[in-house]
Amino acid sequence: MGLPPFRALHQGPCLAVTAKTLRSIDDLAIAGFVAPSDALETVALRYSVALTPTIAALIDRADPDDPIARQFLPEARELETADAELADPIGDDAHSPVAGVVHRYNDRVLLKLVSVCPVYCRFCFRRESLGNSGALDPRTLARALEYVAAHEEIEEVILTGGDPLAASPRRLRAVAERLATVAHVKRLRVHTRVPTAAPELVTKERLEALRAAKKNLVVALHVNHVRELSPVARWAIARLKDVGAKLLSQTVLLSRVNDDAATLDALLDVLVGQGVEPYYLHHPDLAKGTAHFRLSLARGQEIYEALARRRRAKPLPRYVLDIPGGFGKIPVEAPHLAPIGEGIWRARDRFGVEHRYQECLSYGMPDGATTILAKE
């Protein structure tokens, strides 16, 4: 299956926006997406910026609350942080035995192959570490793969980053061929935004490289809104399915992007129609400068309950919260999570240990400014 004509990469409410990835505030301003300001320049210095042609073409500039723009265009509120927000909100560093590896769960590891993405989500939980360097150097990567080979309890290697499909086919093949020699690894999983954000990277060479691992291949697609599933994105997803990958979806519940049951239901219907199994609905993490994306857990539960009613007898993702500090995911439901005060919750991890979770929300003010409240 060949790549659609280049023009097909730019179908959406705003046609032929750009033929290149926009990587600076100046680039975004010239394309008409933002008004340049000192605040936005400061945001770009702190957190990486990139907008691919595919995503740019989906943005409806006539809609001041466009859900695609909200996910990917930088804004000054990213400079607002609260004490409850963290540089490493899910505790990757606490579970990193060697550089590039996160071993939080006994039977699987994350392998942070690259630290770059084709497009940068403004709510990313790894935003502090992405975009500054390319990939693990050969020596560090070799040590990471040696760690996997030495730990027989590891059954699954999850390629993450950054976006692993931003890596070259050569690098992907090198990793896959090394994993092919590790008998106790049964599954190779890839976490990616590429099919929706940069589908031209879903190439025959990359797909063949992943298959070189000779493992069960699982691809978890990060998709938050049905409009991200453009014709070319669906083409890329079909390519993954054609090589035998099991396809899962991961969605982040985001304020003013997908925070209603009807929007999520429409997204899940299209995903299921594409052969993608709904996997996780993530509550937003406590990453710095992302309070304006978060909604309360109580509101999230209401939305999820409404979604479950809509999707009786249909596939439904699990609504989960990553406990800050690296204690893992839990379902956003009793007995795993219970309120103990206004904005304060008791979170019980998989070992039965209880942790205090403090919500940190952003509330819009009449003049468009915001205030961040970390409830005590």
Q: How are beta strands 246-252 and 277-282 bridged, if at all?
A: parallel
Distances (CA, A) of 176 to 75, 147, 153, 348: 38, 15, 19, 36
Q: Which of 47, 322, 357, 360 is catalytic?
A: 322
Q: What is the 3-state secondary structure (H, E, C) of 143-194?
A: HHHHHHHHCCCCCEEEEECCCHHHCCHHHHHHHHHHHHCCCCCCEEEEEECH
Q: Which of 66, 88, 117, 239 is catalytic?
A: 117
Q: Is the dihedral of CA 354, 360, 89, 330 positive or negative?
A: positive
Which residue, among 141, 206, 140, 204, has the nearest Cα to 167 in the 3D structure?
A: 206
Q: Which of 46, 108, 211, 246 is catalytic?
A: 108
Q: Which of 27, 88, 124, 127 is catalytic?
A: 124
Q: Which of 14, 70, 88, 104 is catalytic?
A: 104
| 304 part of the active site | no
Q: Which of 23, 46, 60, 105 is catalytic?
A: 105
| 14 part of the active site | no
Q: Is the dihedral of CA 14, 17, 21, 23 positive or negative?
A: negative
Q: Which of 77, 112, 122, 126 is catalytic?
A: 126
**Distance from C-alpha of 55 to C-alpha of 71, rounded to nearest angstrom:** 10
Q: Which of 14, 70, 121, 127 is catalytic?
A: 121
Q: Token pair of 292, please?
A: 């304006």
| 47 part of the active site | no
| 23 part of the active site | no
Which DSSP state fits 304?
Answer: H
Which residue in this structure is represented by tokens 């050569």? 170
| 66 part of the active site | no
Q: Which of 173, 329, 357, 360 is catalytic?
A: 329
| 117 part of the active site | yes
Q: Which of 285, 319, 357, 360 is catalytic?
A: 285
| 360 part of the active site | no
Contacts of residue 375, defined as CB under 8 A and 6 or more positions apart, other chains included, come to: 341, 342, 343, 344, 358, 359, 360, 361
Bridge partners of 321, per DSSP, are 330
Q: Where are the alpha helices (DSSP H) in the chain?
A: 25-30, 38-46, 53-58, 67-72, 138-150, 169-180, 194-197, 204-211, 231-242, 261-273, 297-310
**Residues labelled catalytic:** 104-105, 108, 117, 121, 124, 126, 285, 322, 329
